[in-house]
């Protein structure tokens, strides 16, 4: 190989070494945002509970398998479209359970409302199944759920309820979708109280 050919090859290699990182950074996807469901009015941890405080345990919420992921999705007809820019911090069932426990705890500051197993049997256990939880591309959120509140005392009645909740709003961003989901989950918590 001639000296000129070697020189051209060296220059081409140097250009490639400089160009590849620039090309890779220009093709990088936008940053990923991680979302949580946070109750707006979490109870103050400063107020201690008495030893006789009511204990309410909310069991992990059951939701459709297609939604129990870390993907933020909206429904477009029969298609679920996954967000390319946002994810849940945990599986959606875990986030919903924590969110509802926080909302219920804020309404009952003198009770221990928790989503964690307790060493003693709680005064009440809440079992919740969400059969539908959709946010459509048209901006309609729908939540259909049934729940059972089981008291520790067998002489008290078990309470069962079923309800459907809807809300409308923007779905242009992942934050819009999260806000719509929080709206219908708040409606559910209000019905459970």
SS3 of the chain: the string is CCHHHHHHHHHHHHHHHHHHHHHHHHHCCCCCEEECCCCCCCCCCCCCCCCCCCEEEECCCECCCCCCCCEEEEEECCEEEEEEEEEECCCHHHHHHHHHHHHHHHHCCCCEEECCCCCCCCCEEEEEEEEEEEEECCCEEEEEEEEEEEECCCCCCCEEEEEEEEEECCCCCHHHHHHHHHHHHHHHHHHHC
Contact at 8 Å (CB) between 139 and 169? yes
Structure tokens at 176: 């819009």
* pLDDT over 90, % of the chain: 70
Q: Are strands 55-58 and 112-114 parallel, antiparallel or unpaired?
A: parallel
**Average pLDDT score, the chain:** 87
Query: What pLDDT band is residue 193 in, cutting at 50, 70 and 90?
Result: confident
Look at 12-21, 28-37, 56-65, 73-82 and tell me which has the smallest mean pLDDT: 12-21
Structure tokens at 66: 């297609």
Contact at 8 Å (CB) between 132 and 163? no
* pLDDT over 70, % of the chain: 80
Rg over alpha carbons for the chain, rounded to the nearest Å, is 25
């Amino acid at each position: 190989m001639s000296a000129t050919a070697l020189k051209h090859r060296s220059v081409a290699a140097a250009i490639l070494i400089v160009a590849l990182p620039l090309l890779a950074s220009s093709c990088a996807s936008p940053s990923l945002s991680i979302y949580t469901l946070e109750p707006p009015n979490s109870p103050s941890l400063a107020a201690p509970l008495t030893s006789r405080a009511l204990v309410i345990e909310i069991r992990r919420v059951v939701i459709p398998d297609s939604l129990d992921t870390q993907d933020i999705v909206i429904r477009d007809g029969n298609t679920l479209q996954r967000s390319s820019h946002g994810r849940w911090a945990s599986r959606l069932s875990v986030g919903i359970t924590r969110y509802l426990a926080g909302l219920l705890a804020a309404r009952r500051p003198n009770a221990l409302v928790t989503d964690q197993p307790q060493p003693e049997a709680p005064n009440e256990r809440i079992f919740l199944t969400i059969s539908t939880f959709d946010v459509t591309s048209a901006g309609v959120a729908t939540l259909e759920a049934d729940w059972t509140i089981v008291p520790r005392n067998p002489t008290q009645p078990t309470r069962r309820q079923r309800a459907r909740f809807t809300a409308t709003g923007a779905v242009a961003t992942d934050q819009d979708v999260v806000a719509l989901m929080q709206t219908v989950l708040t409606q559910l918590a209000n019905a459970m109280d």
